[in-house]
Amino acid sequence: MATTTRTYLDHSSATPLDERARAALLEALDAFGDPLRVHGDGLTARRLLDDARATVAAAIGAQPDEIVFTSGGTEAVALAIWGGVRPIRELGRRIVTTTVEHPAVGGVLTTLETDGFESILVPVDERGVVDLDAFAAEVRTPGTLLASVQHANHEVGSIQPIAEAARLSREAGVLFHTDACQTVGRLPLDAVALEVDLLSVSGHKFGGPPGVGALYVRRGVPVAAYPCGDDRERRRRSGMENVPGVAAMAAALAARLEDMGDQAARQWALTDRLRSGIVERVADARVHGHPTQRVPHLVCFSVAGVDAEILSMALDDRGFRIAAGSNCSGAAGEASSVLEQMGSPATTSFRIGVGPETTDEDADRLLVTLPPLVAELREVAASADLAMDRFEDGA
């Protein structure tokens, strides 16, 4: 019996643990001391945190005291938005964001709306890029406290004009947050040069373990603890730091920085190959997102006339692990709200995420497998529809 080659193509969702991160994680497991204590074991844990904080800070052009460790990107987003508006809520109630943000943003905005805050959603164009004129008008509206725009979209990969959006916000006296979970560790990023106030990071997007992330908080920006805090992380979050996870995340990020430029160039070439191949070889397929202003690792496409869950399972049987459905839900058949906001018909999208181990051969095998599989599934679906029509006519 032939063995199916396993090809992991969901690096946009989660990445395999980097070997250096694994080594750092195992070593740090022995650092069980409380980092707040001044005895030997506590100081050992504190040194690991301090070293990791310096590594993460250097990777994004920040200072160590501007890094807050969290349980992941979702908590970092929540801390940025919820914690950012709380200290200044007497100045207004408006929060400006876009129609295509990660569900983590929508979740915290829903919570804030129950407390009297107002969410303003700025539209995007057919490539998923924010309308800067509309954004400028909204951040200049009195009562606006904070704006949040994703650095790169989690479904289609389009990169937003973050520096310009941050400048517009700063001129209006509005705090600016960017969710950089899809870009940190994959593209050069300097939080100070971008002049953002808050920036979210997710460790498992670049080879770190799940359950750990970070938030950059520019010096001088007050952030309330979410949901409450003690003396840890400068009183900005609850719970003891995940010392092994933090150490592993920092090791993974340092490893990614070593060859980030080469990897980005290689992955852009791979995703260019996939984007053009899908359009050329798969009938009625569409590739979404900006063709050039995009992250290197991500391809989003949709195909008409095929059940998303069935295609996803069929690809999985053939060894290809890709994301299907609205890409931060568990439902493979759920239509993409991001594509709807970009003006595409309500449809299910598929997302390919390449990584450091993805090869040209992996891409070629997918491009060979996908067209006949789609054609076969369409034929089966058409036959089933015809049989149902005959049955209904007979009834």
Two tokens, residue 367? 């491009």
Active site residue: 181, 228, 300, 328, which one?
A: 328
CB-side exposure of 360: number of CA atoms within 13 Å? 2
Number of neighbouring beta carbons within 10 Å of residue 295? 25
End-to-end alpha carbon distance in the chain: 45
Give the closest residue to 183 by CA, choosing from 264, 89, 95: 264
Q: Where are the alpha helices (DSSP H) in 172-307?
A: 191-194, 243-258, 260-281
Length of the chain: 395
Say if CB 145 and CB 92 are below 8 A apart: yes
Q: From CA 274, how far away is CA 296, in angstroms rounded? A: 12
Two tokens, residue 48? 């690991």
Beta strands in 133-192 (DSSP E): 144-148, 175-179
Look at strands 350-353 and 298-303 and give their pairing: antiparallel
Contacts 24+ apart (CB under 8 A), 56-60: 56/201, 56/214, 56/249, 56/250, 56/253, 57/216, 59/184, 59/185, 59/189, 59/253, 59/254, 59/257, 60/180, 60/184, 60/189, 60/190, 60/191, 60/199, 60/201, 60/216
328 noted as active-site residue = yes
* φ, ψ of residue 234 in degrees (nearest 5): 55, 40
Catalytic residues: 328
